[in-house]
Amino acid sequence: MNRKAKRELEDYILEKALTRRQELALMLSERELTIREIVDYFRATTKEIVEDLKSIAYKYKDRFVAKPAVCEFCGFVFKERDKIRKKPSKCPRCRNEKIQEPRFSLKPVT
């Protein structure tokens, strides 16, 4: 790939990501979503969506809500203050593998 084509491709990818982030921000202000739901909706990769969420969290700061993953069996709450990532695979307390995924949303403007 020559340099011009590479640049065009990069611009295209960036533009697509920006549009996706705008749409995602709208969706998050309407309801809570898990990374899996967002990935399915946009047919994007988990990595791309995690980057989108980080960017949205940075942009909307106080409005961004990240509900941590919770063990469905014992209620153990996975604390992930700054990190946005997919759900953990196993509960450290009871070893149960049924973990409720982290959910993300944007609070309405007050």
Which residues 6+ apart lie within 8 Å of 34 measured at CB?
87, 101, 102, 103, 104
Instruction: Report the alpha-carbon distance of residue 87 to residue 16 in Å, rounded.
Output: 26
- The residue range among 13-21, 46-54, 59-67, 85-93 that interacts with Zn ion, by the rule CB under 5 A, is 85-93
Number of residues that bind Zn ion (CB under 5 A): 8
Tokens of 48: 């791309």
Can residue 9 be called a binding residue for Zn ion (CB under 5 A)?
no
Q: From the CB of 41, what's the least distance to Zn ion, in Å?
A: 29
The Cα 29–Cα 25 span in angstroms is 6
71 interacts with Zn ion by CB under 5 A: yes
List the x/- string, 23-62, binding to Zn ion by CB under 5 A.
----------------------------------------
Is the distance from CB of 19 to CB of 12 less than 8 angstroms? no
Show the tokens assigned to 33: 């979503």
From 13, 26, 74, 77, residue interacting with Zn ion (rule: CB under 5 A): 74
Does 96 participate in binding Zn ion (rule CB under 5 A)? yes
Residues that bind Zn ion (CB under 5 A): 71, 73-74, 76, 91, 93-94, 96
